[in-house]
Amino acid sequence: MTIMKKLLASAVASALMVGGAQAEISNNTVKIGYLADMSGTYRDLSGPNGLKALEMAIADFGGTVKGAKIEIVTADDRNSPDVASSTVRRWLENDNVDMVAGLVASSVTIAATKVIEENDKLGLVNGSAASSITNEYCTPNHIHYTYDTYALSIGTPTAIVKEGGKTWYILTADYAFGHAMEADVTRVVEANGGEIVGSIRHPFPTPDFSSFILQAQASGADVIALANAGADTTNAITTAAEFGVTQSGQTIAGLVVFLSDVHALGTEAAQGLQLTTGWYWDMNDETREWSDRFMKETGARPTMVHAGIYSSTLQYLDAVEKTGSDDAQTVRKQMMDTPINDMFTKNGRIREDGRMVHDMYLAQVKTPEESSGEWDLYKILRTIPAEEAFRPLADSKCKLISSK
Amino acid sequence: MSMIFGVPMAVLSGQLLIGIINGAFYALLSLGLAVIFGLLKIINFAHGAMYMLGAMGTVILFDNLGVNYWVALFLAPVLVGIVGVLVEYFLLRRIAGQDHIYSLLLTFGVALIMQGILTNIYGVSGLRYSMPDMFKGGVNLGFMFLPYYRAWVIVAALLVCFGTWFMIEKTKLGAYLRAGTEDSQLMQGFGINVPLLVSLTYGFGVMLAAFAGVLAAPIYSVTPVMGSHILIVVFAVVVIGGLGSIGGAIITGVLMGVVEGLTKTFYPPASSAVIFLVMVIVLMIRPHGLFGKEA
């Protein structure tokens, strides 16, 4: 009986596969599921404005692809991997969703991409930081687009060590992401001849950083690095300013800092802070033009995540159009074969491990005198070339690489 | 330099002082909770949201109306107090006399609604509020750099705490309050307007939370979710101090700030759990709390 069932199932499956190979858009609809933090800590860097960026991409593409409708469904992942898996499963298995966009908290993304792989659909990861998403957790069914912890640790720490910040004290958020970030920073600092003189693992989240800042201050290290994100980072920076850390000659290094964080801090508290970013709205005419339209829609300037969502969605739709198919592997192959040249990046390319490699930027927060408005926040100090910014394939643990 | 358990004395003194500052916040917040629970038997899960309203209110009043810090220090708590009175009058009053769980759920719902609405309007990254000019800078105490503002926080919080304790335990108004909640029918027979007294008490309790919120605005990031983080800790402080004990809430608040501060020095990863550990131990040895009376 079970053998019969299996035979029958495989017959149906192969019939379906043949159908898929005929390059068609299923149900004559391309359905995109937007999964993101819509109400929690990561809302402002992704959230409802990310959905707006997705809608802008669809509108700019013309609203349809090869005559097929483009539909969006959305959900709040509440930063919970459980919510993410069950939502994505429902979308893929019952609601005919073809592609999942957004994907913010790293834990959420790792859970969701597993389900996406089982169903052989496509995920475009834009919000997440963990570089393990295209390393240990790589799948043939997702692409990691905007940035990752590897790229962030290459940018800021290298620059600061070269400027003479030799001794480092790290404040680490005590969970998987913080530990990974700490390890990446330690590697880069030591490789450049610096030294880690101490670190504290603080609870996540920590509303009051005065105690930790005081300890970091007492250590006398040149640099106090923040291996945390969101409210923890802004709280730590505010407290450091209050306790006179920068006046006493120590440098603060924020490792995961978004435009929305710096905007919340203001230039008064954040001035001089160095950070690494995948994109900034005020880089050239193209980025400014898009950002102006985004601001008209949302009232805020886009973060790099918003820009990544817009760019990756356009790339996706373009691949669907060119291949005339919404089959995940067909589209992914097409996306890998197409260099990315748009307002997000020039000569970006998607590697076989799913990592989109592109130039990253070392930026510094402007002083209140330099800043001409509430969103005039960064000056770009250096462009980090794509080949330097991301983990080389030679060091990759991705199953797609080792199996070749 | 002398060392204690491998930590320099100077660092330790700094941490003790930081602990007292944080303890001052805990004291203010747990005091409000203790007043509301002690006198009204309401488990006020909206307390964190009221603290948040105080801080958000300070920023919003400044951004839109240019209201300065000193005015906000009085105005924001009064406005939040009015919100509290409305919540009591239209919602809490309807479930008076029911099991505690009803007030807990109702206030929790109110808190979530407030958080949700403000998140939709202001986002979660935090609003900017700059330090009042006279508090900029600080003084070097030798063992640490003490920002002027933090010193002000200790003074302001402890003054308000002491004033509240004095009013409830030592004045005639306090006596009415305590009697009115003990036997409201008898008090009404004496011509005291007990429902009004109850509304005002709830309003006053949340005013204390809002006052803590104003104090927090210049130093913590002001977001619609800031209250949800601190609420649980403050409840633990109230349980340790003894439910309903006004003086106990104040002393325990400061004490727990210090305990947390020391944990942050010796073993930082445990600092978010240490207060709950103390709570478990206290409940095992003295189930009614350090300063609570036997039920």
pLDDT digits (tens, 9 = 90+) for B155-166: 999 999 999 999
- Suggest the residue from A45, A214, A245, A268 to mutate for an interface test with chain B (most B CBs closer than 10 A): A214
Cβ of A44 within 8 Å of Cβ of B124? The answer is yes
Q: The tokens of B75 are what? A: 């105005």
Give the gap in angstroms from C-alpha B228 to the nearest C-alpha of chain A: 11
Task: Please name the member of A41, A212, A268 whose beta carbon is closest to the beta carbon of B130.
Answer: A268
- Suggest the residue from A242, A256, A261, A303 to mutate for an interface test with chain B (most B CBs closer than 10 A): A242
pLDDT of A213 above 60: yes
Summarize the confidence of residues A120-143 as an average pLDDT.
94
- Determine the Cα–Cα distance for residues B110 and B107; give it in Å rounded to an integer: 5
The answer to whether A49 and A76 are in contact (CB under 8 A) is no
pLDDT digits (tens, 9 = 90+) for B198-238: 999 999 999 999 999 999 999 888 999 899 888 999 999 99
pLDDT digits (tens, 9 = 90+) for B93-121: 999 888 989 999 999 999 999 999 999 99
| Same domain? A132 vs A271 | no
The answer to whether B274 and B50 are in contact (CB under 8 A) is no
When mean pLDDT is compared across A145-149, A263-267, A335-339, the lowest value belongs to: A263-267
| Same domain? A258 vs A379 | yes
Binned at pLDDT 50, 70 and 90, residue A302 comes out as very high
Q: Collect all residues with Cβ–Cβ distance below 8 Å to B129 and sequence separation of at least 6.
A: B58, B59, B62, B217, B218, B222
Q: What is the pLDDT of residue B211?
A: 97
Residue A15 resides in a domain: no
| Cα A133 to the center of its chain, rounded Å | 10
Q: What is the pLDDT of residue A42?
A: 87
Contacts of B271 in chain A (CB under 8 A): 202-203, 211
Domain boundaries, position A300: 29-147+285-358
Q: Collect all residues with Cβ–Cβ distance below 8 Å to A402 and sequence separation of at least 6.
A: A396
Residue A33 resides in a domain: yes
pLDDT digits (tens, 9 = 90+) for A355-386: 999 999 999 999 999 999 999 999 999 999 99
Contacts of B126 in chain A (CB under 8 A): 231, 234, 264-265
Task: Please name the member of A201, A243, A263 whose beta carbon is closest to the beta carbon of B269.
Answer: A201
Residue B292 resides in a domain: no
3-state secondary structure of A282: coil
Give the gap in angstroms from C-alpha A19 to the nearest C-alpha of chain B: 45
Q: Please confirm whether the linkage preceding A205 is cis (ω < 30° from 0).
A: yes
Cβ of A210 within 8 Å of Cβ of B18? The answer is yes
Q: Which helix (H) or strand (E) holds B63?
A: helix B47-65
Task: Please name the member of A207, A243, A268 whose beta carbon is closest to the beta carbon of B145.
Answer: A243
Cβ of A211 within 8 Å of Cβ of B19? The answer is yes
- Determine the Cα–Cα distance for residues A46 and A72; give it in Å rounded to an integer: 16
| Same domain? A187 vs A197 | yes
Residue A23 resides in a domain: no
Domain boundaries, position B130: 7-285
Residue B117 touches chain A, beta carbons under 8 Å: no
pLDDT of A2 above 70: no
| Same domain? A134 vs A171 | no
| Same domain? A71 vs A98 | yes
The number of domains in chain B is 1
Q: Which residues of A touch B (CB under 8 A)?
A: 39-41, 43-45, 47, 174, 200-203, 205-208, 210-212, 214-215, 217-218, 230-231, 234-235, 238-239, 242-244, 248, 260-261, 263-266, 268
Burial zone of A191 (CB within 10 Å; 0-12 exposed, 13-18 middle, 19+ buried): exposed
Task: Please name the member of B19, B125, B131 whose beta carbon is closest to the beta carbon of A260.
Answer: B125
Q: What is the pLDDT of residue A374?
A: 92
Residue B1 resides in a domain: no
Summarize the confidence of residues A294-312 as an average pLDDT.
97
Higher pLDDT, A338 or A242: A338
Q: What is the pLDDT of residue B48?
A: 96
Q: Which helix (H) or strand (E) holds A93?
A: helix A81-93
Residue A209 resides in a domain: yes
The answer to whether A147 and A345 are in contact (CB under 8 A) is no
When mean pLDDT is compared across A55-59, B85-89, B96-100, B273-277, the lowest value belongs to: B96-100
Matching residue, tokens 């995540």? A305
Residue B99 resides in a domain: yes
The number of domains in chain A is 2
- Across the A:B interface, residue pairs with CB atoms under 8 Å apart total 106
pLDDT of A16 above 60: no
pLDDT of A255 above 90: yes
Residue B2 resides in a domain: no
Summarize the confidence of residues A320-327 as an average pLDDT.
95
pLDDT of A128 above 80: yes
- DSSP structural state of residue A340: B
Summarize the confidence of residues B58-86 as an average pLDDT.
96
Q: What is the pLDDT of residue A13?
A: 53
Q: What is the pLDDT of residue A8?
A: 59
| Same domain? A369 vs A241 | yes
Q: Collect all residues with Cβ–Cβ distance below 8 Å to B119 and sequence separation of at least 6.
A: A39, A43, B224, B225
Q: What is the pLDDT of residue A244?
A: 86
Contacts of A44 in chain B (CB under 8 A): 123-125
Residue B268 touches chain A, beta carbons under 8 Å: yes
Residue A16 resides in a domain: no
| Same domain? A157 vs A267 | yes
| Same domain? A55 vs A134 | yes
- CATH of residue A233's domain is 3.40.50.2300
| Same domain? A162 vs A265 | yes
Residue B272 resides in a domain: yes
Q: What is the pLDDT of residue A11?
A: 55
- CATH of residue B218's domain is 1.10.3470
Q: Which helix (H) or strand (E) holds A275?
A: strand A274-277
Q: What is the pLDDT of residue A249?
A: 85
| Same domain? A56 vs A109 | yes
The ipTM, to two decimals, is 0.84
- Above pLDDT 70, what percent of chain A? 94
Cβ of A207 within 8 Å of Cβ of B229? The answer is yes
Give the gap in angstroms from C-alpha A205 to the nearest C-alpha of chain B: 8
pLDDT of B295 above 70: no
Contacts of A217 in chain B (CB under 8 A): 145
- Determine the Cα–Cα distance for residues A305 and A149; give it in Å rounded to an integer: 14
Give the gap in angstroms from C-alpha B25 to the nearest C-alpha of chain A: 11
Residue B167 touches chain A, beta carbons under 8 Å: no
Residue A400 resides in a domain: no
pLDDT of A320 above 60: yes
Task: Give the closest residue to A298 by CA, choosing from A20, A50, A19, A6.
Answer: A50
| Same domain? A295 vs A350 | yes
Cβ of A211 within 8 Å of Cβ of B264? The answer is yes
| Same domain? A352 vs A365 | no
Residue A184 resides in a domain: yes
Summarize the confidence of residues A245-260 as an average pLDDT.
89
